[in-house]
Amino acid sequence: GFRWNIEYWELWNEPEAESGWSGTPAQFYELYRAVATRLKARFPAVKVGGYGCSGLFESDSEYGGDRFAHNHQVLAWLTNFVAYCASERTRTPLDFISWHMYETDPERVTRHGRFARGLLDRYGFRKMIFLALAVSFVGALGRSLCHSYFFFWIAMALTGIAPTFVQ
């Protein structure tokens, strides 16, 4: 991938999902640390992060009910991951965090972005000016994908996050 000038490397995808990772969270965090550290040592200009979290839905009061237990687990994974990366003991590279959303409402995207910004701030990643969101907008009501990306851009601007799309 480096030959193709891939600048942003998202490591893994939804490890907190039942089929996403068969080891413990601690084992995943250690794998992430080993890979991210090696990538940054070999290619200092690349950005590494992740991990393609399956969502920040617990941060949104409109979600809950039957999904609460899963959502709680998802946010625990992400919170512990960010804490692990921030730890003086592990010193793990983290240039961005990423998560998935399927949404047409820019306000909901904004709430999730604010939650992510608060999480990063709480663990000392205040200078991280980039959050990569793996956002897929549902094309409901005839909205085009381009129109939905416009909503995403506005929502992220409202949170103070500099949005960048990583395909």
Band of pLDDT at residue 30, cut at 50, 70 and 90: very high
pTM above 0.85, yes or no: no
> Which residue pairs from 154-161 have beta carbons closer than 8 angstroms and sit at least 24 positions apart in sequence?
154/106, 155/106, 155/107, 155/109, 155/110, 155/113, 156/109, 156/110, 156/113, 156/131, 158/110, 158/113, 159/110, 159/113, 159/114, 159/117, 160/117, 161/113, 161/116, 161/117, 161/129, 161/130, 161/131
46 pLDDT above the threshold of 60: yes
pLDDT of residue 100: 79
166 — pLDDT class (breaks 50, 70, 90): very low
Q: Which of 80-84, 89-93, 135-139 has the lowest mean pLDDT?
A: 135-139
Checking if the pLDDT of 71 tops 80, the result is: no
Please determine, for residue 115, whether its predicted confidence score (pLDDT) is greater than 70: yes
CA distances from 28 to 53, 72, 139, 149, 162 (A): 13, 18, 34, 31, 28
Q: Which of helix, strand or coil describes residue 132? A: strand
Counting residues of the chain whose pLDDT is more than 70, the rounded percentage is: 66
d(CA 60, CA 105): 12
pLDDT attached to residue 118: 87
| 56-60, 71-75, 134-138, 161-165, range with greatest mean pLDDT | 71-75
Spatial CA neighbour of 82 closest among 115, 45, 41, 110: 115
